[in-house]
Structure 1
Amino acid sequence: MSSDSDYIENDLLRRIADGDEVAFTELYNRYWKKVYTYLLRMTKSHEIAEELLYDIFTKLWTGRELITDIRNMDAFLSKVAYNKAISFFRYTATQRKMQELVAGQMADLYVEDTADKLLDGEARQLLQEAIRQLSPQRKLVFTLSREQGLTHEQIARQLNLSTQTVKKTMSHALQSIREFLHKRGLESSLLLYFYLETRK
């Protein structure tokens, strides 16, 4: 960066530190595309890249009093974008583990407290196995619907998913359970049919 460019950017940062929103918009327009492209390359998701980009610049504005301490904005934003992406991956991994743990506990609780009153013997055990073999997300959506009686919209809000995603996930979960039970000769059970088809 030339000395003239350095002067222009330093002046821009001073204006931002003073709360100049126009100056901040100028800074954003200067760097957003490069940061977004970097985040997209790392996360492979437009939605996630946009969310992380928004978070980066929101916090940059919130801490604007210290922005003049940044000597190389390009390098600074690249480092921040990298750290944001890594933090997101770590958080996602943690959430998957937590969802799997919670879903497992919820499934156990539901089978013991509710399914136990509906089914007995081998059928109850097979139903429990069918729930356990679901993926973590399907298991969580399924148990939220079956145990707590939440609607698709309520589940979507709670898990920060789209309603359509919840519907598809629930449909896949039900299909998986049906196939599991069908292979074990329980397809004719009216009780199981009612259990699987209610609360859609």
Structure 2
Amino acid sequence: MSVTNIHNDKQLLQLVARGDGPAFAELMERYHAPAFRVVMKLLQDRWAAEDVVQDIFLKVWLSRETLPEVENFHGWLLTLATHKVYDQVRRYQRESAHLQRWQKELNITADTAMPAGRPVSDFEELVTQAMARLSPKQQRVFTYIKKEGYSRQETAAIMNISPETVKTHLEQAMRTIRAYCLSRMDTRMVTVLIALIVRERL
């Protein structure tokens, strides 16, 4: 029987829990739109909302074995979407606070700081330049772990590689970034760089 003919969510969730790809595609087809509407209403940004929804369904897939326990998938998914948005907003607020402290420590004045609404310091721009020198996999690992807050295990699942490979990519990425930034920064910026990228989330 085709998964498109399964009208009962419970049956569909049981198939997804067993790793059935077509069943998961059908689940996304059914619930992408309502999840997107909720996220879009909160974020008011189409591209950001789509990123969040994709991340939500990725988490659904990674935790698929628990899906048969969900009584009301529609309500459960929308709750997950709401929490994900709030987590993202809180992370943005923390990053903004960090950047303001970095600007103060680096004596970046209002004249040299980025305009309001774009909390990006010269330091962060330097790290971005350094990241451009990384391999694609190193860039992804660094972004997932250092910028988006994923653990080594979560990053490994997303990229379909082992946690040890993730660790290797991250270590190589940090060495490259350090070397690039150290050659272009004064002593105070070096201190901030080390505080930022040496702390492991592994």
**TM norm structure 1:** 0.56
The answer to whether the aligner puts 1:47 opposite 2:66 as a matched pair is no
Which amino acid is the alignment partner of residue 26 of structure 1? E
Distance 1:100 1:15, change over 3 A: same
- How many residue pairs were aligned? 132
> 1:21 maps to which residue?
21
- 1:92-111 equivalent positions in 2, closer than 5 A: 92-107=92-107
- 1:168-183 equivalent positions in 2, closer than 5 A: none
Distance 1:107 1:73, change over 3 A: same
Q: What stretches of structure 1 of length at least 5 have no aligned partner?
A: 109-127, 161-200
3-state DSSP of counterpart to 1:107: coil
Q: How well do the aligned residues superpose, as a CA RMSD in angstroms?
A: 3.3
> 2:169 maps to which residue?
none
Alpha-carbon distance between aligned partners in 2 of 1:133 and 1:50, rounded to the nearest angstrom: 27
Distance 1:15 1:151, change over 3 A: closer
Q: Is the 8 A contact 2:113 2:121 kept in 1?
A: no
3-state DSSP of counterpart to 2:10: helix
Percent of aligned positions with the same letter in both sequences?
A: 22
Cα distance, 1:155 vs structure 2:
7.4
- 1:134-153 equivalent positions in 2, closer than 5 A: 135=116, 137=118, 140-141=121-122, 143=123, 150=126, 153=129
Q: Is the 8 A contact 1:36 1:49 kept in 2?
A: yes
More helix by share: 1
Runs of 4+ in 1 over 3 A off after TM superposition: 128-139, 150-158
Distance 1:12 1:152, change over 3 A: closer
- 1:79-98 equivalent positions in 2, closer than 5 A: 79-98=79-98
Q: What stretches of structure 2 of length at least 5 have no aligned partner?
A: 134-138, 144-202
**TM norm structure 2:** 0.55
**Which structure: larger Rg?**
1
Q: Is the 8 A contact 1:13 1:68 kept in 2?
A: yes
Alpha-carbon distance between aligned partners in 2 of 1:42 and 1:129, rounded to the nearest angstrom: 30
